[in-house]
Structure formats: C-alpha cells, structure tokens
Chain A
Amino acid sequence: MAASWKPLLFQILLMLVSCRHINTKKSAPTPTPPVPITPLPTKMRSVVLKGSSHTGEHQAERIELLNPVKLSLECTWTGNQTKAPNITGYWTKDEIEIQDSRLTVSLENEQYNLRRVFSINSEENLGNYSCLFGNEAKIDFIVAAPHIKDVRDKPIVSYVGDSVVMTCKMEETQPMPTSWNWYKDNGTDKEQIFAAPQRYEITSTKWKTRLQVINLTEADSGPYYCGAVYAISTSMSHVELKVITFMEPLKPFISILIEVVVLVTAILIYERNRSRKNDEEESGTNADQNKKLPQGEDSGEEESSSMRKRNV
C-alpha cells in the first residue's frame, strides 16, 4: 500500500515544481504569454479545387489579416480521373513541410478533404501556407497583412540644403493601419526615424503618412521605408532618396552656355565681316546709285555675290 502512494506523491511534487516554474515564468515580464488569456478569434477559409486530368494543379488565395487569429484552412479537391481511395495530404509553410502534418486522406463523396488550424500570432506566422494532395494538387493561402500598393520605383532626387517630402499611402479600401513608422537603412538594419526639429518631420493621418527631411546632406541618400503598423505585423514600402549637389545640373548647363556663347560670337563676327565687306564694296560703286536706291538693296546684291563666294 505504501508503494502505491510513492509514485503519486512523486507526481504531486513534480507538479508543484512545474507549477512554480510556470509561476516564475508568469511573474517575469514577457511580451507574449505562452497561452493567450483571451481566446483568439477564429477565421475560416475554405477553397475547393476542381480536379482535372493533368497533374500539378495549383490555386492561390490571399488572406489579409490585421490581428492575431486562429486561422482554420480547409482544402477540398475533387480528385483526378484515377480516384484513388487513399491519398497522402500534407501542409507546408513557405515551401517547408510542416512537421506532423502528413495525413492519409480518404475519398469521401468523390472528394478529398484536408483541414488544419493555424495560430497566427505574429509576423513570423505570416507566409504562404499550402495544402498538398500527394504530388498532384496544391492550394496556396497567402497570409499577410495589408500591403502598400503604390510604390514609387524611381528614386526621389533632391539637393543638398533643400528639403524633401516622402509620402506613403494605404488604399482606403483596405483596412486602416493603427499607426505609421518610418525607417532608414543604416547599413545593417532598419533604424526607426523619430521626429526631430530642423531635421525630420513626420505627419501621419489615417491613410497617409508624410516624412519631411529638412536640410539635406549627401549622407541622407539611401533607401527609406515606411511601415503601416497593424496588430499582426508592419507592412513596409520603400522609397529611395538620392541627394545631389548643384554641381550636377550645372555641368550640362555650363556646356550649353558655352555652346550658345560660341554660336553668338561666331554669328556676330560673321555679320561684322560681311558688313565690313559691304562697306568696302559700296565705296567702290558709284555714288548715284547710293543716293537713288535704298542702301539695303545694294547690300542685298553684294550679299548674294558674297554668299556665292563664301566658303564655309
């Protein structure tokens, strides 16, 4: 009789120890409790893939999430021509097979059915979940936070000492972000930008955010990221800033200036030579003609002959 108490006592002791362990875990400040206190809402998504003769069928579904949820995904495949009674089905996340997800799926009502519940708590749980039926059918569920659609692909150019405004906006048809952040790339990682007088100015409304960088220097060049913050993760969009000095456009400007000066000088010199030649030739013609006809006509005649003689 004493022998049967011993394992029980041992178990109780063990439980106490583990409870204490759990207690210490709880008392220390932790970002997320291992087991959520309030149950996560559940979101269901079900996709039916119509089977056909060729293998390698594929379908994708986008799921947009704002908050942590329990996501229940269901895949139904109507099967191919050879309706095998049993088939292996499994799940992958980002092309990597999820452990212990392989199941044998049996044909029910001419369909194969796979269902699994995923806890989407934070950013690392987002990704591309796929259910696969053997090697033959695949359905993708792209689980992500709302992403920023219009991305400016060309860099924004600005000048040293000038200020520049970069904006990001979220389509109003999509859910509203809780807040906006701005980040700058400092070589290794993204560093968040905070408003500073005479340096950075951030104004955000619900759907738009605006970062103004004042008094630019060349070091400010580089990629900038705006992040739309949702409970589940932050969606980033990036914009490239390029800061140049005024020397850059000055170079083509100076070259055009030189070209203009050269042309004008050449034309004026040519005109002066021509009029000098005209004066010489005029003094050779008789004075009567000069009185009767206007001077212009005379020089016109000379011009025509001089144009024939002229070699450029």
Chain B
Amino acid sequence: MSKSKQRSESKAGEAEGPDGGWGWVLLAAMFISTSLVFGLMRSLGIFFVEFVHYFEESAQAISWISSTGLAAQQFFSPLGAALCNAYNTRMVVMTGGFLAALGLILASQATCLVHLYLTMGLISGLGWGLVFSPMVATVMANFTRRRTLALGLGFSSIGLSSFAFNPLFQLLVETYAWRGALLILGGLSLNIVPCGALIRTQQQSKAPEKVDSQSRSSCADVLQRVSSYLELSLLFERPYVTYTLGITLFNVGYFVPYFHLVAHSRLAGFSEYQAAFVMSAAGATDILGRILSGWFSDLGHFRLIHLLSVWTALAGVFIMLLPVSSLTGSYAALMVISMLYGFCSGALTSLAFAVVPKIVGVERTMGGLGLLQLIESGAGLLGGPLSGFLKDITGNYVASFMVAGSFLLLGSLTMVTLPHYFSRTDPPPPQRRSLVDKSKSLHPELQQMKSLPSDSNNQTAQHSGR
C-alpha cells in the first residue's frame, strides 16, 4: 500500500519542494502505525467483557490492563526519543513494533491477570512508546509548510481505525475467543515493522560525534550523553516548561468527555442508543477537525500558537456547555454541542504537536515530544478519577464537566504566557546548546531546517529526508 501511494504521490511531491515526496510515504507509515497503537488501544474495550468473564475478576482489575498499557506508552516515550537520538530511528520503530506485537502474542497465552498486565500492559506499552513519538517526530521533520496538515491526516487514523477496529475485534473475539483474537492482533501489530523500515536515516545522528569527542566513557560523560539524548536541558527552558504545563492542563480536562459523555447522556434521560450515537458523532467531527484544522493552520494566516489557544478555549467552553445543553433535555442541543466539542478537540490535537518544533527547534523535537508525553501522562491519570470523584460527590456530571472545561481554559491562559505570544510572527527557536561540532551534530533529516532562516515557514532548499 505504501508503494502505490509513493507512486501516485511522488510526481506531485516533486513539484512542491521540501514537503511531500518521501514525506507522504512516511505519513502513510505514520497513519498505519498510529492506528495500530492508539486505534488498537481504544478498541481494547471489547476484550474487557471477555476478560471479566474468563478470569472472573472485577471490572476495575481488568481496566488496569489498558491503563498500564497507556501509562507504559507515555512513560517510555522519552526512552524512545533518546534511543532515536542515540541510534537509528528506523531500528527503534521496528523494534517497537516487534515488542508491541510480542506483548499481544504472549498475552494470548496468559493464564492469570498478572500475565496480562506484564504482556499487554508493559511489553506492548514499551513497544508503543518506542513507536509513537519517533514516528510523529519523523513526519514533522519531513514536512514544513504542510506539517500541521500532515499531522492532522496522520492523527485522523486514530478515529477512523477505531471505527473499523471495533466491529473487527468483535468478529475476531466471536470466532476465535480472546486468545486467538489477541494472537491475530499481535500479527496485525507486526505491520508496524514495515512502517518503521520506511524511515530513512543516512547517518547516525548524535552517537558517532560524541564518540569522536569523548573517547572514554566515564560516568560523567555517560550522564551527559544520556541527558542530551533525553533532551533534559529542555526542562530548564521557560518556553518549553510553560508549553508542557499548558498541555498537561489540557490533558486533565481533555479526556473527561470521552469517559463520561455516555454516562452523562444516560443520566440526562437519553437512551443507550442515543448516547452511543452522540459519542460516534463527536468522534466523526473529531476526525474532521483534525484534518481541517491541519489544512487551515498551514495556510499561514495565523500563528499556530494562536490557533491552538483559540481551539483549546473553544473546546473548554463547549465542554462546559455540555451539561447545560443536556439539562434542557434537548437531544438536538446535546448533539450539536458534542459535535462542536469533537471538532475543537480534534483541531487542537494536530496543533498541539505541531507547535513543539516552533518552541524547541526542529532538532530537539524528538526529545521534546518524548518528555511531553511523559509529563502529560500524569494529567491523563488525574483527570479521569478526578471527574469520577466529583460525580460521586455531587451526584451528576455537571461539576466534572465544568472543572474539565476550566482546566482547558486554564491551559489556554498558560499558553498566553509564552514568550513573544503577542507578536505577529514566530520567534526564532532557541539554538541548541550542543557540546559538539555543529556541522556534524544534527539529525540529517532536520539539519536543512537549521541551516535556514529561523522562520521555518519559508523553506526553499531541498529537503534531504526523502
């Protein structure tokens, strides 16, 4: 499939400059691998019922499986980024795909719940962590003018694939029981490996240079190297920290509707079918929002950070309006607000990643994404239980949604404190404080970006990462 896309897009890509060409192939690879990571994670709910029945454990114990998987993916993201900086992105993603598949295949042989935590949770989560951030960073490196559109198209895979995976997984479970279904899922996850194989790296990025300048690996040198691979220096920069804080605040509120919208609709008096339909509609507008916001952002009329603030603020407002609309008892109002919320949340997702290179510079995007994933994971873990807790106290979801929406607005306000927020053009991304010779120290796909003027919207030179 990737080859045929190459064939059709290569001719078009040629005319456009640094965007396109091999970038489209990598986008297809990202589409597939992201759907096999997050689309798969979202559809694991089908196995939930089977596990409860087979292992005769409580729902809470079973839900820890997917929580462990998600937490592992986010926790190991910086590791994935560091390994890509140290070694070869291609190998890292291929290994990640292999690990993700291995976890699922081993899970098919599980005889107790702990096995599932270790295999589906830890091993697959590690694999997913090694795949997601590097893949996103690679795609971002291969697009400049169309970066946000590419991201939007790539992330739309999550929504689309969870539409396809839900009935598919249901069919697999009915035909082969959960063991056979997990085995086949492991096989499907192996498709991440060819996606990783498509990533091109002409030379090692940071490792050889380090070896040149530091011949002996003493403890301090190793630590320095590790810290540079992990881009820990980012944690000391105010723009990055501010941005990460903003994203973390978003994450507290972002997932609340996904967890609670159905339950809230039921409480408001709508039927199960109507509630599920609301979720599907929100999911559909989510996909639309990702793509459209990506396209619109790349038109260049506004700075990405401004657009991000707008979408986030709107999403926050719509989340707050959700309980209000359903309290009036009108199904149409609930549908409309949910669809608007879906659109805004999709819109902000593509932008949230695309802004990272603007803040940290393209070369550090890999590490930046890894750390971002790790830090925002805490917020996701906090948001769900917090809203559940509020619901338990107040008895309905109004407070949860209000708090969730306010977190989004708070995050939006945090963004405002970024330096040069109110200027019309993007500020220059900070120069990397590298310890080695600049000419050799850069990731080959990204080095062209660095050599050009800072406003990376005006890319004219040929991009090497085709």
Contact = CB atoms under 8 A, between A and B. Distances in A.
- The answer to whether A and B interact is yes
Interface of A: 154, 156-159, 162, 165, 244, 246, 248-250, 252-253, 256-257, 259-260, 263-264, 267-268, 271, 275, 294-297, 299-301, 303-304, 307-308, 312
Contacts of A299: 202, 464
Contact of A312 (B3, B53, B187, B445): B3
Nearest to A254: B187
Interface stretch (B118-126, B175-183, B212-220): B175-183
B326 interface: no
Interface of B: 3, 6-7, 10, 14, 21-22, 53-54, 56, 94, 108, 174-177, 179-181, 183-184, 186-188, 190-191, 193-194, 197-198, 200, 202-203, 439, 444-445, 447-448, 461-466
B188 A256 contact: yes
Question: Which DSSP category, helix, strand, loop or mixed, fits chain A's interface?
Answer: helix
A304 B197 contact: no
Contacts of A162: 179
Contact of A294 (B56, B181, B444): B444
A295 B440 CA distance: 10
B197 A294 contact: no
A294 B203 CA distance: 10
A271 B200 CA distance: 8
A299 B3 CA distance: 20
Given A271-B197, A296-B203, A312-B7, A260 B191 contact: yes
19 contacts: A154-B174, A156-B177, A157-B177, A159-B179, A162-B179, A165-B53, A250-B183, A264-B193, A264-B197, A268-B197, A296-B445, A296-B447, A297-B448, A297-B462, A301-B462, A304-B21, A304-B462, A307-B466, A308-B10
A303 B22 contact: yes
Contacts of B462: 297, 300-301, 304
Contact of A157 (B3, B7, B175, B198): B175
A205 to B, nearest CB: 14
A29 B340 CA distance: 78
- Complex A-B, nearest 3 residue pairs according to Cβ-Cβ distance, in ascending order: A249-B180, A296-B464, A256-B187
Interface centre among B3, B187, B191, B444 (most CB of A within 10 A): B187
B193 to A, nearest CB: 6
Nearest to B1: A263
B447 A294 contact: yes
A284 to B, nearest CB: 18
Contact of A297 (B94, B174, B187, B464): B464
Contacts of B187: 252-253, 256-257, 260
Contacts of A263: 191, 194, 197
Given A250-B183, A296-B444, A158 B177 contact: yes
B176 A295 contact: no
A268 B196 CA distance: 11
A190 to B, nearest CB: 24
B42 to A, nearest CB: 21
Contacts of B180: 157, 159, 244, 246, 248-249
A244 B439 CA distance: 61
Contacts of A256: 184, 187-188, 190-191
Nearest to B174: A154
Given A295-B203, A301-B462, A312-B7, 11 more contacts: A154-B174, A157-B174, A159-B177, A244-B176, A256-B187, A260-B191, A263-B191, A271-B197, A299-B464, A300-B464, A307-B466
A264 B195 CA distance: 8
Given A165-B56, A260-B190, A267-B197, A249 B179 contact: yes
B48 to A, nearest CB: 16
